[in-house]
A and B are shown apart, each in its own frame.
Chain A
Amino acid sequence: MSQELDNRIRVFRAEHRMSQSDLADAIGVTRKTISTIEVGKFVPSTVIALKIARHFGVPVEQIFSLPDAAE
């Protein structure tokens, strides 16, 4: 996971029974973009983060968060 931004996309995908490709198609990016965000290799733009949150119907903070300072 990235040092810059934690995310719970994988959890939400599992809850919604979605593949990376499904999510990518739904928000208009490639599967590579989703997979690199999930593993913390790529920090998404605000627009992509908001699109993902809107797709799952939750506030963006439920999906993305800053790592705890203690970690």
Chain B
Amino acid sequence: MFNYSHLTGAQLADRFVGRSCGSMFMLALAYSLDVVGYATGQTGFLDTIRVALSIILVINLLPIYAAYISRRRATNCSTEDGYIVGMFKKAVVHAFTLNFIVMIFLEAVTEIYLTDIPTKIFLNGLLALTLLTLSISFFILTRDSDDEEDDLDLGEDA
């Protein structure tokens, strides 16, 4: 499961980015639980779920992160130009844009409403929204990127 030696540098980078987005999704859920806990008044059960999510996140990301970093140091390969990384950058732009719009909206709304909600809840909610947008955008952008299998029957090429 944690052996990545059969992957090329570019494949490893793509897989690392995919895993990172999966981890961001889990992190978004963890932040959401904080907001849900505040809204419902329950904390004990939600805290347990949050700890479990954090452990899964570390197990999911740490091995491939270590492999990716050591491969980069060993081969000095540049892997920032690929399709997956490009889609990740697009997803970051989507997430940042939405985050910014929501912040401006909240800045206006909190002048009148929601004045007694703690800052921590606002921040966790915003973080959850940003990470959720990023990860979902990434999965949508890369959803049908695996095109038809390669072929060399190219009689009709122009």
Residue numbers of A with Cβ under 8 A of B are 10-11, 13-14, 17-21, 24-25, 28-33, 35-37, 39, 41-42, 44-45, 47-48
A42 to B147 CA separation, bound complex (whole angstroms): 12
> Assuming A14-B157, A36-B145, is B84 touching A30 (CB within 8 A)?
yes
**What count of chain B residues pass the 8 Å CB interface test?**
22
A42–B86 CB distance below 8 A: yes
> Assuming A14-B154, A19-B150, is B81 touching A30 (CB within 8 A)?
no
Enumerate chain B residues within 8 angstroms of A28, measured Cβ to Cβ.
Answer: 8-10, 77-79
A30–B150 CB distance below 8 A: no
Q: How many A-B residue pairs have CB under 8 A?
A: 67
Enumerate chain B residues within 8 angstroms of A32, measured Cβ to Cβ.
Answer: 14, 82-84, 145-146
Binding site of B, secondary structure by majority: helix, strand, loop or mixed? loop
B154–A36 CB distance below 8 A: no
Nearest-CB residue, chain B, relative to A17: B152
A17 to B157 CA separation, bound complex (whole angstroms): 14
B157–A39 CB distance below 8 A: no
| Minimum-distance CB pairs A-B, first 9 | A14-B154, A20-B150, A45-B81, A33-B83, A33-B82, A30-B10, A35-B147, A36-B83, A42-B83
Apart from the given pairs A33-B10, A35-B150, 17 other A-B contacts in the complex at a CB distance below 8 Å = A13-B152, A14-B152, A17-B152, A28-B78, A29-B10, A29-B81, A29-B82, A29-B83, A30-B11, A30-B14, A30-B84, A32-B82, A33-B81, A35-B148, A37-B83, A41-B83, A44-B81
